[in-house]
Amino acid sequence: MDFRFSEEQTMTADVVRELLADVCQPADLRRLMGAGVARDEARWTKIVEMGLAGALVAEDKGGLGLSAIDFVQIAEACGYAGLPEPLVENAGVVLPLLAAFSANGRAAALLESALVGDVTVTVAHPTNPFVADADTAEAVLVVRDGAVHLIETAKAKIVAQPSVDPFRRLFTVEFEPSDATLIAGADEAAGPLAAALDRGALFAAAQMQGIAQRCVDLGVAYAKERQQFGKPIGSYQAVKHHLATAQVKIEFARPVLHAAAAQLENADLYSRARISQAKLACTDASDVAARTSIQVHGAMGYSWEVDVHFFLKRGIALTNWWGGPAFHRERVAARVFARPLGPEHTFAREAEHA
Amino acid sequence: MDLDYTEQQKAFRQEVRSWLEKHVPGKPLPSFDTSREGFEAHRAWERVLADGRWGMVTWPESYGGRGLDLIQWLIFEEEYYRAGAPLRVNQNGIFLLGPTLMEYGTEEQKARFLTAMASGDEIWAQAWSEPQAGSDLAAVRATAILERDEYVLKGHKIWSSRAVFADWAFGLFRTDPASQRHKGLSLIFFPLNAPGVRVQAIPQIDGETGFAEIFLDDVRVPAFNRLGGEGEGWNICMATAGFERGLMLRSPARFQVAARKLVELFKAHEAEVEPTVRAAVLQSWMDAEAYALSIYATASRLAAGGHIGAEASTNKIFWSEMDIAMHKAALSILGARAELLRTAPEAGDIGRWLDGYFFSLAGPIYAGSNEIQRNIIAERMLGLPRA
Ligand SMILES: Cc1cc2nc3c(=O)[nH]c(=O)nc-3n(C[C@H](O)[C@H](O)[C@H](O)COP(=O)(O)OP(=O)(O)OC[C@H]3O[C@@H](n4cnc5c(N)ncnc54)[C@H](O)[C@@H]3O)c2cc1C
């Protein structure tokens, strides 16, 4: 039992954090927004050069062979920076899903070019009503009757569903399934699709944890600077207590998120409940932190000029991405109402109770 | 990151479990707050624990412990709450003063006080608060004046838990009467039966005894009873408060067991309650788990040489608010029966939820109010300017 990250895990996340602090400032976001695009090719190239696209793909399939616990702090850093590019979805969710089907020749070929960063891939997962980044993706993994089809985006009809978040590109995708598009039957696909949902929910939670901390940090910075009644507003207790309350939410979402990441591969009722708990806790933290930050900023917080709204909107988007609160509460309920409870079961696996 | 117990940790859990199965009293003991009989029954239980060397497993063997690490302590606590073993009557001693003594005490002081503390022979109360010094603890007025090798204690302490029946108290005194605020304070131990000490019980919200006022009128204690240097009392108290808010005061297992009971209560009444209660029950379970995971993370960090800082304040806010929410959920399940006393013929399975709810309301007040904790978080964790 050792509930700590390794030095290597923290170092890798630090490198990503530093890169994003360098190339993903709010000014960069605003520039991109002004240009009406959702992807900065120069920044994406830098991310790809770090070799992160294949982070979660097994080494024998050309990836880095990392696991969720290695990636979770990277996803937090992406949330903190409000990264527009699809690192978390592409590397964290879709490529490991694609790799599960690499026995199929088309899937294998696509994986190869995705791993070197030439292309991105996206997924139309049954949990999500929309498909993210379909316009820039080379192909979409689509599920029909439980089976997975691989469709080149050029051959599908994609309809944009504009989001309030300027950097989210959502679409609905229509396609004609055929034997040629099929890459995995329902039996083979069920496990990988469930794993994709787990990773999707976990890394959405991680981004929200980053968003929450960013909102508090923005609020704190402003509260130290802004003066009213001759003093920084951060010296007033009401302001302090708002921010402290948000920080408490963050502090107690974090260990849940990290435990969920560490146990993701157990892929059982217990680990799934923990992932769902993390999604709920991080959603709550980002909601409270974003609203707090706006309140602390006063009218500035309601303005376009202050950056908080980027994070508020990403939080709203991720709240329902890879399952909304009701969906995840039911996954928690499935564990709570049907399995033994109590302190001796905190780290339990289903296998032990079989 | 490794979230599995080692074989050794699993074996330890089994050892604790089977010992507790053999020794935990079959019937709950009477309250240690409301009668001498209940207090002594709890002292007897402390002796049973001590005989098995289970009093404080993290303490060195020389003081009656087992020299185990914090993860093992958590496992012990999990089994302890799981078994429904009695509350620790000496918690002010073993959880607060004990760790402080180990850090600041001389070898002679440790030898004199720790063993008797671990065995339950000496049960401790904390005597810090005064009528004029609550949240503003640095406003302490009680004095301790050194006369040759003795301190003469004078003053009025209040809200001291367990003081009605306890043997000793550790108090915060002004050793330099000319001093202001945090300076000139010292931590001094005094026997509660010493000449000049008068203890007056204060009934709590439920009408029962629980804490007390302590009047000190020229009470003489040896200078040996001062912990740390003269004038270092404030810093030592803050270290104790860190233990209190951090790991020691409220074991996660306490809330995980409460959450389990809440789920059982909910299941028994599911058909009668509105859907929002179900969400509250699930939230209680999740919060108890989150607190446990957070404490495991902290314990792992401490085991690797880390320190506990202002995040102790986040713990205190989290568990105290969770405790209230959990009890509120239980009361809403009980509905109209929530107000009944357990003696009412229709009481049924109301259990102790109402008592627990009352006590949960004290959580945001004692051990430094939650408002004070939020100040600490804002100023020390977030770096906001002082008022
Ligand atoms: C069940 C229980 C057991 C206790 N056991 C012990 C014990 O064993 N030994 C012991 O020494 N003491 C004990 N206490 C006392 C406890 O430590 C004090 O109650 C606590 O420190 C608060 O002090 P106070 O009650 O004087 O409240 P006050 O300090 O008068 O506070 C009243 C209210 O004002 C708020 N407030 C005060 N100052 C500020 C500020 N600067 N900013 C914002 N809000 C503020 C408080 O948060 C609180 O809500 C116990 C208390 C309880 C309820």
**What is the whole-number distance in angstroms between the Cα of residue B40 and the centre of ligand 1?**
28
Mutate to test the interface with A, among B20, B21, B277, B289 (most CBs of A within 10 A): B289
For residue A114, give Cα distances in angstroms to A169, B202, B249. 19, 72, 52
Q: Are residues B269 and B310 in the same domain?
A: yes
Burial of A170 (0-12, 13-18, 19+ CB in 10 A): buried
Give me the domain span that covers residue A243. 188-353
Residues B11 and B85 in one domain: yes
The ipTM, to two decimals, is 0.97
Q: Is residue A233 part of a domain?
A: yes
* B117 within some domain: no
Chain A positions in Cβ-Cβ contact with residue B378 (cut-off 8 Å) = 234, 240-241, 243-244
Q: How many CB atoms lie within 10 A of CB B189?
A: 23
Residue B269 within any structural domain of the chain: yes
Mutate which of B159, B185, B244, B355 for ligand 1? The one with the most ligand atoms within 8 Å of its CB, which is B159
Q: Which of A240, A270, A275, A293 best tests the B interface by mutation, with the highest count of B CBs <10 A?
A: A240
Task: Report the residue from A1, A241, A343 with minimal CB separation from B82.
Answer: A343
Instruction: Search chain B and give the residue with CA nearest A10.
Output: B1
Q: Does B237 map to a domain? A: no
Which chain B residues are within 8 Å of A237, Cβ to Cβ? Answer: 371, 374-375, 387
- What pLDDT does B72 receive? 95
- Are residues B250 and A217 in contact, defined by beta-carbon separation less than 8 angstroms? no
Number of domains in chain B: 3
Contact between residue B188 and residue B171 where contact means Cβ atoms under 8 Å apart: yes
Res A162: pLDDT? 96
SS3 B382: coil
Beta-sheet pairing, B168-174 with B124-127: parallel
Q: How many angstroms separate the CA atoms of A259 and A256, rounded? A: 5
- How far does residue B294's CA lie from ligand 1's centre (Å)? 26
Q: Which residue among the candidates B244, B272, B321, B371 is catalytic per the annotation?
A: B244
Contact A253/B290, CB-based, under 8 Å? yes
Residue A252 pLDDT: 98
Residue B79: closest C-alpha in chain A: A344
Residues of chain A with pLDDT under 70: 353-354
Looking up residue A199, the CATH number of its domain turns out to be 1.20.140.10
Tell me which of B2, B3, B135, B379 to substitute to probe the interface with A (most A C-beta atoms closer than 10 Å): B3
Ligand 1 centroid–CA B139 distance in Å is 13
Nearest-atom number in ligand 1 for the CA of B368 is 21
CATH number for position B211: 2.40.110.10
Ligand 1: which residue has its CA nearest to atom 41? Answer: B372
Contact assessment for residue A136 and residue A170, using Cβ atoms and an 8 Å cutoff: no
Beta strand spans in B132-208 (E):
143-147, 150-161, 168-174, 185-191, 197-203
Q: Which of A224, A232, A244 sits opposite B374 (nearest CB)?
A: A244
Q: Has B244 been annotated as catalytic?
A: yes
In a domain, B95, yes or no: no
Q: Separation of B142 CA from ligand 1 center, angstroms?
A: 17
- Residue B60 within any structural domain of the chain: yes
User: Any residues with CB less than 8 A from the CB of A41 and at least 6 apart, and which?
Assistant: none
Taking the C-alpha atoms of residue B144 and residue B172, their distance in angstroms, rounded to an integer, is 9
Task: Please indicate, yes or no, if residue A69 is contained in any of the structural domains.
Answer: no
Q: Whose CA is nearest to atom 52 of ligand 1?
A: B366
Q: What is the pLDDT of residue B241?
A: 76
- Identify whether residues B266 and B221 lie together within a single domain: no
Joined together, the tokens standing for residue B343 give: 């003696």
Give the pLDDT of chain B (387 residues) as one tens digit per residue: 999 999 999 999 999 999 999 999 999 999 999 999 999 999 999 999 999 999 999 999 999 999 999 999 999 999 999 999 999 999 999 999 999 999 999 999 999 999 999 999 999 999 999 999 999 999 999 999 999 999 999 999 999 999 999 999 999 999 999 998 899 999 999 999 999 999 999 999 999 998 999 999 999 999 999 999 999 999 999 888 776 666 767 899 999 999 999 999 999 999 999 999 999 999 999 999 999 999 999 999 988 888 888 888 999 999 999 999 999 999 999 999 999 999 999 999 999 999 999 999 999 999 999 999 999 999 999 999 998
User: Does any domain span residue A151?
Assistant: no
For residues B76 and A18, give the distance between their C-alpha atoms in angstroms, rounded to a whole number: 42
In a domain, B118, yes or no: no
Task: Measure the CA–CA gap between A330 and A328, rounded to whole angstroms.
Answer: 5
Looking at residue B359, what is its pLDDT?
Answer: 96
Encoded tokens for B205:
């919200």
**A243 contacts in B (CB within 8 Å)?**
378, 382, 384
Position B95, amino acid:
F
Are the beta carbons of A343 and B78 separated by less than 8 Å?
Answer: yes
Residue B133 is classified by DSSP as: B
Which residues are bridge partners to B214 per DSSP?
B157, B199
Between chains, do A1 and B6 touch, taking CB under 8 Å as contact?
Answer: yes
What's the structural domain count of chain A?
1
**Is there a domain that residue A226 lies in?**
yes
Q: Collect all residues of chain A within an 8 Å Cβ-Cβ radius of residue B381.
A: 244, 247
Cβ within 8 Å of residue B311, ≥6 positions away: A251, B246, B298, B381
CA distance B45 to B88: 9
φ, ψ of residue B168 to 5 degrees: the values are -135, 160
Position A353 scores a pLDDT of: 58
The reply to whether A57 falls in a domain is no
Domain contains A214: yes
Say whether A248 and B317 touch across the interface (CB within 8 A).
Answer: yes
Asked if residue B216 and residue B277 are part of one domain, the reply reads no
Does any domain span residue A279? yes
Residue B97 lies in a domain: no
Which residues on adjacent β-strands are paired with residue B161? B211
State the residue range of the domain holding B186: 124-232
Question: Do B212 and B306 have their domain in common?
Answer: no
- For residues B88 and B120, what is the distance between their CA atoms, to the nearest angstrom? 10
For helices A186-225 and A269-297, what crossing angle results, to 10°? 30
CA atoms within 13 A of residue B343's CA, in its CB half-sphere: 0
Does the beta-carbon distance from B263 to A337 stay under 8 Å? yes
Averaged pLDDT score across all residues of chain A: 96
Residue-level pLDDT at A324: 98
Looking at residue B297, what DSSP letter applies? H
